[in-house]
Structure 1
Amino acid sequence: MFVFPFPGDSRPLSRVMSGFVFRFGIFRPSYYQLALSHDPATNLTYGLLIAKTADHEFPLMTQSLLQHRAHVTHPLLTAALLSKLVIASTASRIQASDRSLNELEESTGQHEYINIPMKSPLELDFMAATRRLNFVGRTLGVERMRAGSTILTLEFMAMEMYAIHDIAIFSHGGITSNGYEESSTLVRELINSHINACQNLALRAEYEEKRTQTQLAVVYQFMTQKEALTTSKIAYTSATIATEAKKDSSAMKAIAVLTMFFLPGTFLAAVFAMPTFDWNNASHPVVKESFKYYWAIAVPMTFLVLLCWGVSVWVPWKEWLPRVPERSKGKVVGFEEEGRDGMP
């Protein structure tokens, strides 16, 4: 509050004006700034209201002033009615947070209501739930801070009521009207009522914050349970795959044994069926001279196949191949550096 002489008055402090600047709420998500100046001699109050809110409830403010028309000359009535709007918006946001927590409790099945069906908490979208709980916790923290700042503003207004009363008595020669006393009583009751409402809202916001922390702990616990079940399913699937692989290995062994059993006979049948043998002509040798070409080609090809297999298995290609691009890049960079050094 600040007090200054009325312009043009030769008698200092015989006619004074009182001024107030209030700020309801904090910077986020919305706030009101109100500047008031009151002239006790003419009983006029001038005000400038700046609002940064999402709804700008000016019609409701005008309606409240019309309802208290008989007491509208009191300098702090506008500030008291404006604080009511702030308290109402804070209460609505806390109520919305309470609804969100109730819906989440129903989704996770953390209740004992008979008329509400129980749901499986493991089917919950945990990412959406944690995002929602974090947003609710942030909203409740802001609203609790808003309620605390509003309490400070209202307590300041309650203290300034005495100074305003002293200025009114001084301006009217020590006598005040009954209407002014009734207005002062009404504004004082409004301020005390708003302080109680803000204290209750602060307590409720604190309670809702504890609920939010509990819900976060519950969600994290269900996330851990779901991860454990998923890990168990993965382990079961891995065991099943290992069992099937073992069965496949046994089948491959059986196939290998059968192949070894039939391989000698197959080899002999293939050799004796070759045209390099002549079994019906007794005047010539059974084995023809062209049989040597078979061995001359088959033996080197066999060794070549074994050599390719050994190179593909024993040579560390996985370690060598990633280094090839780095070496080529290093050569290019080195060439560029040499070119730069050679420049004048």
Structure 2
Amino acid sequence: MADFQGAEAFWNRVSLEPMAKYPQHNKKNWKLWPKNSKVPSYSALPDMEFSTRPELEDPQIMHWGIKESAEEKEPPARVDVLWGKGADLQWRFRVSDEDLVVIASEEPPSHPLSGDKGSFRAFFIHTLDSDYGWLRGNFSIRPATLKALRKAGLSTSVLASIYSSEGFWAKLENQNFVQYDTDKRLKSFEFAYRYICGWDRGVSYIHFLRTEHTRTYFCINYPSRAREKITAYLKRYPEFAYRDFFLDAVAADDCLKEWHLNIGERRESVLHHERKYEDEAIDFNTATRQLHSLARDWHTLEQGCSILQTQLGFLRQVYEKYISLCCDSKNAWSVDVTSTMGESLDALRSRCDNYTKWTMVYRDRTTLRINLLFHLASQREARTSTSIAASNKTIAEQTRRDSASMITIAAVTMLFLPGTFVSAILSTTFFDYGKDGLSVSGQWWILPAVTLPLMILVFGVWWMWQWWRFVGWKRGRVEGKAV
């Protein structure tokens, strides 16, 4: 009978903490990285460990990462272990490095009893208590803890990916390795991959190692709700621990639920924008920024769903290979034959494919909405320009009328100006209005002789000035057309 005493109380206390405290990546400087990011040369490395895949491993970055982990000041990674033999499973929470060494060193039975499923170990490494690095806790696994996990079989490729400064986008490749003994019998079967469970939930890894009598899982930042689920199932049905790829399928299901929530939230935002068609009800500045952010989110969600779809396809292929090798008469390893996990993986992949397609649809609809806003804004600007042009036309017409009035006034003024001038002359001594009547000077002819030429001169100057302006305006139009 499985020993799960304290497991429920523990999860009621801590399992939901990471979900409530996950920070937004755009609010954290996850690019913060150790200043001394230069890895040592191969000649400066200590004795390197033996590796079955030296062509894929990077001892330089491993040596550098372990050194940085020893100097890390952030909260250390938390390690919980689910382990046992057969149906006798137990949880150990916040395992110390000393106990971790004991668990990692335990040897499986060389000849288990008939029907015995062997032993099971699952190491759950939680690094999200730290805010340092893109993983959130890239260097929070202390060297002593790391040594115990490496003894249990943790892949150095996973660690090299964690220690890479570009690991946020240069993700760990999906890995599947098989080893044989000298008799060409199956010795070990392992696979590793990286995944992201929803929006701003940190980065997770799973590494599975199977020998003839032992199944070992290394789960870095395993989804907390998925852990609650397997805890509840294993409490009642401990044999589910030996259901092949069970932890992988539960994690994938939780990832899909997270993507489902992320897509649903942004779908509501798209529908909110699509309900507004009258441009008077649209704040173009705010709506444009919100739709741009949505379009960016849809691209990220599509990428996340596509990567998960690829990983589900990878797990499906690995599962078929795993079953084929284990059931080979030469190997005859125990597997769960009560149900086929491949069918569950197919169902999960189909759901993921559906999410990917809907993400593409909503991305296109967001783009259509952005285009609609662009055209509505263009129409609004066109209407504004038309209104301004009409106002300018009215102003120009009024200005033309004012100009015509001024010209008329000027012409009338010029007509009366000589007479006014003459009147001023008449008030001189040329004319005398005395008691004996009007007496005219003998030089009266000087008055018309001066007045009439002066009137002609004034009108002539005015006419020449108007003609000069007209010729200059006409010349300017001709030169403008030529240019």
Tell me which interval the TM-score lies in, with the shorter structure as reference length: 0.5 to 0.7
Q: Distance in 2 between matches of 1:24 and 1:227?
A: 47
Change (3 A) 1:40 1:181: farther
Would you say the 8 A contact 1:4–1:18 is kept in 2? yes
Q: Distance in 1 between matches of 2:203 and 2:424?
A: 101
Unaligned runs of at least 5 residues, structure 1: 51-56, 109-119, 286-312, 314-344
3-state SS, counterpart of residue 72 of structure 1: helix
3-state SS, counterpart of residue 332 of structure 2: coil
Amino acid at match of 1:107: K
Q: Distance in 2 between matches of 1:59 and 1:29?
A: 14
Aligned length: 260
* 2:156 paired with 1:2: no
* 2:359 paired with 1:205: yes
3-state SS, counterpart of residue 22 of structure 1: strand
* 2:195 paired with 1:24: yes
| RMSD after superposition | 4.0
Instruction: State the Cα distance separating 1:279 from its structure 2 match.
Output: 7.8
Change (3 A) 1:94 1:272: farther
Partner of 2:128: none
Would you say the 8 A contact 1:122–1:222 is kept in 2? no
Moved more, 197-206 or 215-224: 215-224
Unaligned runs of at least 5 residues, structure 2: 1-175, 434-440, 442-468, 470-483
Instruction: State the Cα distance separating 1:203 from its structure 2 match.
Output: 1.9
2:224 to 59, 63, 69: 59
Partner of 2:214: 43
Instruction: State the Cα distance separating 1:262 from its structure 2 match.
Output: 4.3
Would you say the 8 A contact 1:24–1:31 is kept in 2? no
3-state SS, counterpart of residue 193 of structure 2: strand
Partner of 1:229: 383
Partner of 1:215: 369
Q: Distance in 2 between matches of 1:123 and 1:175?
A: 68
Amino acid at match of 2:350: N
Change (3 A) 1:32 1:188: farther
TM-score (norm 2): 0.45
Would you say the 8 A contact 2:308–2:352 is kept in 1? yes
Instruction: State the Cα distance separating 1:98 from its structure 2 match.
Output: 1.6
Map 1:157-196 to 2 at 5 A: 157-169=315-327, 174=332, 176=334, 180-182=336-338, 185=340, 187-196=341-350
Q: Deviations over 1:231-290 (max 9, x none)?
A: 21022111111111022113312432343344335445666789x99989xxxx9xxxxx
Instruction: State the Cα distance separating 1:87 from its structure 2 match.
Output: 1.8
Instruction: State the Cα distance separating 1:201 from its structure 2 match.
Output: 0.7
Partner of 2:404: 250
Partner of 2:260: 91
Moved more, 221-230 or 66-75: 66-75
Partner of 1:54: none
Instruction: State the Cα distance separating 1:102 from its structure 2 match.
Output: 1.0
Q: Distance in 2 between matches of 1:249 and 1:127?
A: 43
* 2:242 paired with 1:76: no
Q: Distance in 1 between matches of 2:424 and 2:330?
A: 133
Q: Deviations over 1:180-210 (max 9, x none)?
A: 334x53x434312211111111221222233
Instruction: State the Cα distance separating 1:41 from its structure 2 match.
Output: 3.6
Would you say the 8 A contact 1:43–1:73 is kept in 2? no
1:139 to 297, 308, 329: 297
3-state SS, counterpart of residue 3 of structure 1: strand
Amino acid at match of 1:216: I
Q: Distance in 1 between matches of 2:183 and 2:288?
A: 64
Q: Distance in 2 between matches of 1:169 and 1:76?
A: 16
Partner of 1:153: 311
Q: Distance in 2 between matches of 1:271 and 1:76?
A: 122
Change (3 A) 1:271 1:72: farther
Change (3 A) 1:264 1:23: same
Would you say the 8 A contact 2:194–2:205 is kept in 1? yes
3-state SS, counterpart of residue 34 of structure 1: strand
Q: Distance in 1 between matches of 2:202 and 2:310?
A: 15
Greater relative contact order, per chain length (Cα 8 Å cut-off, separation 6+): 1
Change (3 A) 1:259 1:3: same
Would you say the 8 A contact 1:17–1:37 is kept in 2? no
Would you say the 8 A contact 1:21–1:35 is kept in 2? yes
Would you say the 8 A contact 1:98–1:208 is kept in 2? yes
Instruction: State the Cα distance separating 1:83 from its structure 2 match.
Output: 1.9
Would you say the 8 A contact 1:19–1:38 is kept in 2? yes
Q: Deviations over 1:50-76 (max 9, x none)?
A: 6xxxxxx84223213213423234452
Partner of 1:117: none
Would you say the 8 A contact 2:295–2:366 is kept in 1? yes
Amino acid at match of 1:188: G
Instruction: State the Cα distance separating 1:99 from its structure 2 match.
Output: 1.5
Amino acid at match of 1:2: F
* 2:417 paired with 1:263: yes
Q: How much identity, in percent, do the aligned residues show?
A: 20
Instruction: State the Cα distance separating 1:146 from its structure 2 match.
Output: 2.5
Change (3 A) 1:264 1:75: same
Partner of 2:481: none
Q: Distance in 1 between matches of 2:334 and 2:267?
A: 47
Instruction: State the Cα distance separating 1:121 from its structure 2 match.
Output: 1.8
Q: Distance in 1 between matches of 2:334 and 2:293?
A: 52
Moved more, 35-44 or 201-210: 35-44
Q: Distance in 2 between matches of 1:68 and 1:13?
A: 37
Change (3 A) 1:249 1:255: same
Change (3 A) 1:77 1:13: farther
